[in-house]
Amino acid sequence: MNAPVLTIDGPSGSGKGTISRRLAGLFEWHLLDSGALYRLAGLAGRRNGVSLEDARGIASLATSMDVKFEEDAEGNERILFSDEDVTRDIRSETCGEDASRVASLPEVREALFAFQQSFCRPPGLVADGRDMGTQIFPDAPLKVFLTASAQERADRRYKQLKDKDIDVSLAALLQDIERRDARDASRAVAPLVPADDAYVIDSTNQSIDEVVAEVVELKNRIIGIG
């Protein structure tokens, strides 16, 4: 590794996306949103008429994806896929479901391995995902595993969607979250489990600010300030 890496793994809705972005901003480090890569692999499959069960087909699309992660003038993330802005599209429930399906294919995970590692550049990297600490950056000096109860994660997602005027049922969201957790945790390759040396933080009763402060304290103590 040519730069320090802070890995943040955990299930959907644990707050890790927001927290990773905040931390990368505070430290002025690079950010790897690995979930977005699986979402894009699923999207590439749909757009090219490749079945999401076709492991080799999706893997081949995943190795040749033209992806750019950018920020607009207000600091909001912008994801360009073959120069098309797909920032909103890839956050849909369908894309999340597709991502979880293609993420269970070993060929697809292998195809994205080197690409993910290439995000590790000075001055440092915050890597957000499910297997950052266990598979992609096993030597990272600081690993965090962020969890929250399924009910709390469903409540958070419900509020997010309501704020965007998207109509959903809380019960259906909870069911989706539990189904996706079970698939992500039980798959044969890179299951969602904390690394042995990860700090586990339960954010069920903690605000984003509190979790960020806890991780900053860990980073300053373990990796150093600056």
Query: Which spans of this chain sit near ligand DC (rule: CB under 6 A)?
Result: 12, 34-36, 38-39, 96, 99-100, 103, 129-131, 180, 184
DSSP type of residue 162 = H
Peptide bond preceding 123 in cis form (omega within 30 of 0): yes
| Shortest distance, position 3 Cβ to ligand DC, whole Å | 19
Residue type, 124: G
Place of tokens 């039980």: 186
**Residue at token pair 């373990």:** 222
Report in angstroms how near the CB of residue 10 gets to ligand DC at its nearest. Answer: 9
Cα-based angle 110, 187, 133 (whole degrees, multiple of 5)? 60
For residue 123, the tally of other CB atoms under 10 A from its CB is: 11
Tell me the residue nearest to ligand DC as measured from the CB. 35
> Given the complex with ligand DC, which of 103 and 146 has the nearer CB atom?
103
- SS3 category, 128: strand
Cα maximum dimension of the chain: 49
Least Å distance between CB 95 and ligand DC? 8
Rounded Cα–Cα distance for residues 218 and 138 (Å): 18
Quote the least distance from Cβ 167 to ligand DC, whole Å.
21
Of 45 and 96, CB closest to ligand DC: 96
* Cβ distance to ligand DC smaller for residue 71 or 217: 71
Nearer to ligand DC, 16 or 219 (CB): 16
Q: Which is nearer to ligand DC, 23 or 36 (CB)?
A: 36
CB–CB of 40/96 below 8 Å?
no
Nearer to ligand DC, 12 or 147 (CB): 12
Q: How near is the Cβ of 171 to ligand DC at its closest, in Å?
A: 20
How many whole angstroms separate alpha carbon 137 and alpha carbon 38?
Answer: 17
Q: What minimum distance in Å lies between the beta carbon of 221 and ligand DC?
A: 26
